[in-house]
Amino acid sequence: MILEMKNIVKTYGKVVANDNVSIDLNEGEILAIVGENGAGKSTIMKILYGLEKPDSGEIFVKGKKVSFNSPLDAMKLNIGMVQQHFMLFGPMSVTENIVYNNEVSRRGFFDWKGNREKVRELSGKYGLNVDPDALINDCSVGTQQRVEILKTLYQNADIIIFDEPSAVLTPGEVDELLSTMKNLAKAGKSLILITHKLNEVMEVADRVTVMRSGKVIGTVNKKDTSTDELSYMMIGRHTSQLNIPDMKTGKRLLEVEHLSMGSALGKKVLNDVSLHVDAGEIVGIAGVSGNGQSEMIRCITGLEKQYEGKVLVCDQDVSNQGVSIIRKAGMSHIPEDRYLWGSAREASLSDNFLMGEEDSDAFSSHGILKQKTIDRHADRLIDEYAIKTDGCRQKMKELSGGNAQKVITAREIERDCPLTIACEPTRGIDIGAMEFVHERLVNKRDNGGGVLLVSSELSEILKLSDRIYVMYEGHLNYEFRHGEVDDRKLGRLMLGGKADE
Amino acid sequence: MNKIMNKIGNSNILFSLMAILAGLLVGGVIMAITGQNPVEGILGLLKGGYLTSYAIASTLTRATPIIFAGLSAALAWGSGYSSMGAQGQMIIGAITAAIVAPRLGFLPPFLAVIITLIFSMTAGALYSLISAHISAKYDAYLLIVTLMFNYLADYLASYLTNYVFLDPVALDKLAIQTIKIEGSILPRIFPRYTTHYGFLIALIAVAATAFIINKTSFGYKARMGGLNAGFAEYGGIDSRKTMYKVLLLSGALAGLGGACEVLGTKFRYVDKMITSPGYSWSGITASLMSNYNIIGVLFSSIFLSGIAIGGSTIELSMNIPSEITQIIQGVITMLVTAKFVIRWHRKENGRKEAETK
Amino acid sequence: MIFEWSYISAIISSTLRMCSPILLCSLAAAICSKAGVFNIAMEGCMMVSAFFAIVVNYYSGGSVLLAILAGILSSMLISAVLAVLIIRLKASPVVAGMAINTMSGGLTTYLMYVFFHTKGLFQNPTLNGLSKLTPFFASAFPELAQMFYGLTTVDYLSWIIAILVQIFLYRTVIGYRIRAIGINPEAARSLGTPVEKYQFWTMTLSGIFCGLAGVLLSMGSVTLFIQNITSGKGYIAMTANNLGKSHPLGVAVASLFFGACQSLGSFLQQAGLKGQITGSIPYAATVLASVVSSIRYRRQKEKKIREAISEN
Closest CA of chain A from B58, distance in Å: 37
Q: Which of C91, C238, C239 sits opposite B338 (nearest CB)?
A: C91
Report yes or no on B258 lying in a domain: yes
How far is the C-alpha of C100 from the C-alpha of C82, rounded, in Å? 8
Whether A368 has its CB under 8 Å from any CB of chain B: the answer is yes
Q: Which of A91, A108, A268 sits opposite C173 (nearest CB)?
A: A108
For residue A267, the model assigns a pLDDT of 65
For A295, the 3-state DSSP assignment is helix
Other beta carbons within 10 angstroms of residue B6's beta carbon come to 12
Distance of CA A98 to the CA centre of its chain: 28
For residue C274, the model assigns a pLDDT of 87
Which chain A residues are Cβ-neighbours of B224 within 8 angstroms? 344, 347, 351, 355
Chain A 268-287, residues with CB within 8 Å of chain C CB atoms:
268
User: In this structure, what are the phi and psi dihedrals at residue C244, rounded to the nearest 5 degrees?
Assistant: -85, 5
Angle CA B82–B83–B84, to nearest 5? 120
> For chain B, what percent of residues have pLDDT higher than 90?
71
Chain B 151-190, residues with CB within 8 Å of chain C CB atoms:
151-152, 155-156, 158-159, 162-163
Q: How far is CA A3 from CA A78, A161, A193, A327, C162, in A?
A: 11, 12, 14, 53, 51
Domain C5-125+151-311 classification at class level: mainly alpha
For residue A329, the model assigns a pLDDT of 93
For residue C78, the model assigns a pLDDT of 96
Closest CA of chain C from B251, distance in Å: 19
> DSSP letter at C134?
P
For A332, the 3-state DSSP assignment is strand
For residue B344, the model assigns a pLDDT of 45
Q: Do A369 and B223 touch (CB under 8 A)?
A: no
> For chain B, what percent of residues have pLDDT higher than 70?
90
- Count of CB contacts below 8 A, A vs C? 58
Q: Which of B227, B236, B355 sits opposite A356 (nearest CB)?
A: B236
Task: List the beta strands (DSSP E) in A123-201.
Answer: 159-163, 190-195
Q: Do A110 and C186 touch (CB under 8 A)?
A: no
Q: Which of B25-29, C133-137, C170-174, C236-240 is least confident?
A: C133-137
Residues contacting A410, CB < 8 A, separation 6+: A353, A381, A384, A385, A387
For A100, the 3-state DSSP assignment is coil
Choose between B346 and C59: higher pLDDT.
Answer: C59
User: In this structure, what are the phi and psi dihedrals at residue A495, rounded to the nearest 5 degrees?
Assistant: -95, 15
Residues contacting C2, CB < 8 A, separation 6+: none
Q: How confident is the model at residue C310 (pLDDT cuts 50, 70, 90)?
A: low
| Closest residue in chain C to residue B156, using alpha carbons only | C276
Q: Which residues of C touch B (CB under 8 A)?
A: 40, 85, 89-92, 94-96, 98-100, 102-103, 105-107, 109-111, 113-114, 119, 232, 235, 238-239, 242, 274, 276-277, 279-280, 283-284, 286-287, 290-291, 294-295, 297-298
How far is the C-alpha of A275 from the C-alpha of A283, rounded, in Å? 9
H helices of A392-474, where?
401-413, 431-446, 458-464
For residue B173, the model assigns a pLDDT of 63
What confidence tens digit (pLDDT) does each residue in B80-139 have?
998 999 999 999 999 999 999 999 989 999 999 999 999 999 999 999 999 999 999 888
- In this predicted structure, the answer to whether residue C66 has a pLDDT above a threshold of 50 is yes
| Closest residue in chain C to residue B287, using alpha carbons only | C95
Report the mean per-residue pLDDT for chain C: 90
Identity at C118, one-letter amino acid code: T
CB B69, CB B262: distance < 8 Å: no
How far is the C-alpha of A283 from the C-alpha of A305, rounded, in Å? 23
Q: Do A346 and B227 touch (CB under 8 A)?
A: yes
Q: How far is CA C29 from CA B309, C160, C199, C256, in A?
A: 36, 17, 12, 16
Could you tell me which of B246, B208, B227 has the C-alpha nearest to residue A354? B227
CB B280, CB B90: distance < 8 Å: yes
Q: Do A110 and C183 touch (CB under 8 A)?
A: no
Residues shown for chain C? 312
- In this predicted structure, the answer to whether residue C175 has a pLDDT above a threshold of 80 is yes
Q: Which of A300-304, A457-461, B353-357, C93-97 is least confident?
A: B353-357
Q: Do A268 and C174 touch (CB under 8 A)?
A: no
How far is the C-alpha of C312 from the C-alpha of C307, rounded, in Å? 9
- Quote ipTM for the complex: 0.86
- Count of CB contacts below 8 A, A vs B? 69
How far is the C-alpha of A188 from the C-alpha of A169, rounded, in Å? 25
Q: Do A100 and C188 touch (CB under 8 A)?
A: yes
What confidence tens digit (pLDDT) does each residue in B5-38 have?
455 445 667 888 888 999 999 999 999 998 889 9
Could you tell me which of C189, C213, C54, C28 has the C-alpha nearest to residue C121? C54
How far is the C-alpha of A294 from the C-alpha of A285, rounded, in Å? 11
Q: How far is CA C293 from CA A6, B18, B130, C32, C179, in A?
A: 58, 44, 18, 21, 23
Q: Do B235 and A356 touch (CB under 8 A)?
A: yes
| Closest residue in chain B to residue C100, using alpha carbons only | B330
Residues contacting C30, CB < 8 A, separation 6+: C165, C241, C244, C246, C247, C248, C251
Query: Mutate which of A56, A304, A323 to disrupt the B interface (most B C-beta within 10 Å)?
Result: A323
Query: Mutate which of A51, A75, A88, A100 to disrupt the C interface (most C C-beta within 10 Å)?
Result: A100
- In this predicted structure, the answer to whether residue B3 has a pLDDT above a threshold of 70 is no
CB B219, CB B225: distance < 8 Å: no
Q: Do A368 and B228 touch (CB under 8 A)?
A: no
- In this predicted structure, the answer to whether residue B171 has a pLDDT above a threshold of 70 is no
Report yes or no on B2 lying in a domain: no
Closest CA of chain A from C28, distance in Å: 21
What confidence tens digit (pLDDT) does each residue in B236-294 have?
999 899 999 999 999 999 999 999 999 999 999 998 899 988 999 999 999 999 989 99
How far is the C-alpha of B224 from the C-alpha of A347, rounded, in Å? 8
> DSSP letter at C130?
P
Q: Which of B178-192, C72-86, C165-179 is least confident?
A: B178-192
For B130, the 3-state DSSP assignment is helix
Q: What is the pLDDT along chain A (501 residues), one digit of tens a residue?
A: 899 999 999 887 767 888 899 999 999 999 999 887 667 888 888 888 888 889 999 999 998 999 888 888 888 899 999 987 889 998 999 999 999 988 888 888 999 999 999 999 999 998 888 999 999 988 888 899 999 999 999 999 999 999 888 877 766 788 889 999 999 999 999 999 998 778 888 999 999 999 888 889 889 998 988 877 887 787 665 544 555 666 677 889 999 999 988 766 556 788 899 999 999 999 999 887 778 888 999 999 999 888 889 999 999 999 989 999 999 999 999 998 888 889 998 899 999 999 999 998 999 999 999 999 999 999 999 998 888 888 898 999 888 777 888 899 999 999 989 999 999 888 767 666 777 888 889 989 988 899 999 987 777 888 889 999 999 888 998 999 888 888 778 877 887 777 665
Report the mean per-residue pLDDT for chain B: 88
Q: Which of A344, A359, A371 sits opposite B231 (nearest CB)?
A: A344
Closest CA of chain A from C200, distance in Å: 18
> DSSP letter at A368?
E
How far is the C-alpha of A414 from the C-alpha of A439, rounded, in Å? 12
> DSSP letter at B177?
B
So where are chain C's domains? 5-125+151-311
How far is the C-alpha of A411 from the C-alpha of A406, rounded, in Å? 8
Q: Which of C283, C291, C295 sits opposite B152 (nearest CB)?
A: C283
Could you tell me which of C21, C79, C13, C17 has the C-alpha nearest to residue C215? C21
Q: Do A323 and B223 touch (CB under 8 A)?
A: no
Which chain B residues are Cβ-neighbours of A354 within 8 angstroms? 220
Could you tell me which of B301, B235, B240, B205 has the C-alpha nearest to residue B79? B240
What confidence tens digit (pLDDT) does each residue in B192-225 have?
899 999 999 999 999 999 999 999 999 999 999 9
For residue B355, the model assigns a pLDDT of 34
| Closest residue in chain C to residue A87, using alpha carbons only | C187
Q: Do B221 and A358 touch (CB under 8 A)?
A: yes
How far is the C-alpha of A458 from the C-alpha of A284, rounded, in Å? 10
Contact partners of A by the rule of 3+ C-beta pairs under 8 A?
B, C
Q: Angle, to 10 degrees, between the axis of helix C233-243 and the axis of helix C5-34?
A: 80
| Closest residue in chain B to residue C281, using alpha carbons only | B152
User: In this structure, what are the phi and psi dihedrals at residue A261, rounded to the nearest 5 degrees?
Assistant: -150, 140
CB B72, CB B250: distance < 8 Å: yes
Q: Do A368 and B216 touch (CB under 8 A)?
A: yes
Cα-Cα end-to-end distance for chain A: 36
Could you tell me which of A362, A297, A373, A371 has the C-alpha nearest to residue A335? A297
For residue B346, the model assigns a pLDDT of 44
Angular region, A69: left φ>0, alpha ψ -120 to 50, beta rest? alpha
Q: Which of A323, A351, A359 sits opposite B224 (nearest CB)?
A: A351
Angle CA B329–C29–C104, to nearest 5? 25
Q: Do A367 and B235 touch (CB under 8 A)?
A: no
Could you tell me which of C204, C26, C44 has the C-alpha nearest to residue B281? C44
H helices of A447-485, where?
458-464
Residues contacting A100, CB < 8 A, separation 6+: A89, A151, C177, C180, C188, C191, C193
The residue range of the domain holding B309 is 8-350
Which chain C residues are Cβ-neighbours of B288 within 8 angstroms? 95
Could you tell me which of A374, A369, A368, A360 has the C-alpha nearest to residue A328? A360
H helices of chain C, where?
5-34, 42-59, 64-83, 93-116, 142-146, 153-171, 173-183, 185-190, 195-219, 233-243, 248-270, 275-279, 281-311
| Closest residue in chain A to residue C312, using alpha carbons only | A266
Q: Which of A324, A346, A363 sits opposite B236 (nearest CB)?
A: A324
Residues contacting A179, CB < 8 A, separation 6+: none
Q: Looking at residue B232, which CATH number applies to its domain?
A: 1.10.3470
Residues contacting A258, CB < 8 A, separation 6+: A272, A273, A274, A308, A309, A310
Other beta carbons within 10 angstroms of residue C222's beta carbon come to 12
Q: Do B234 and A344 touch (CB under 8 A)?
A: no
Angular region, A239: left φ>0, alpha ψ -120 to 50, beta rest? beta
Q: Whole-model pTM?
A: 0.86
Q: How confident is the model at residue B356 (pLDDT cuts 50, 70, 90)?
A: very low
CB B135, CB B274: distance < 8 Å: no
Chain B 4-23, residues with CB within 8 Å of chain C CB atoms:
none
Q: Do A108 and C312 touch (CB under 8 A)?
A: no
For residue A26, the model assigns a pLDDT of 93
What confidence tens digit (pLDDT) does each residue in B105-117 have?
899 999 999 999 9
For residue C312, the model assigns a pLDDT of 44
How many structural domains compose chain B? Answer: 1
Could you tell me which of C84, C107, C112 has the C-alpha nearest to residue B30? C107
Choose between A141 and C257: higher pLDDT.
Answer: C257
Q: Which of C96, C287, C294 sits opposite B139 (nearest CB)?
A: C294
H helices of A386-430, where?
401-413
Whether A323 has its CB under 8 Å from any CB of chain B: the answer is yes
Whether B84 has its CB under 8 Å from any CB of chain C: the answer is yes
CB B219, CB B249: distance < 8 Å: no
For residue B349, the model assigns a pLDDT of 41
Q: Do C184 and A87 touch (CB under 8 A)?
A: yes
Q: Which of B141, B321, B333 sits opposite C113 (nearest CB)?
A: B321
Q: Do B338 and C279 touch (CB under 8 A)?
A: no
CB A190, CB A28: distance < 8 Å: yes
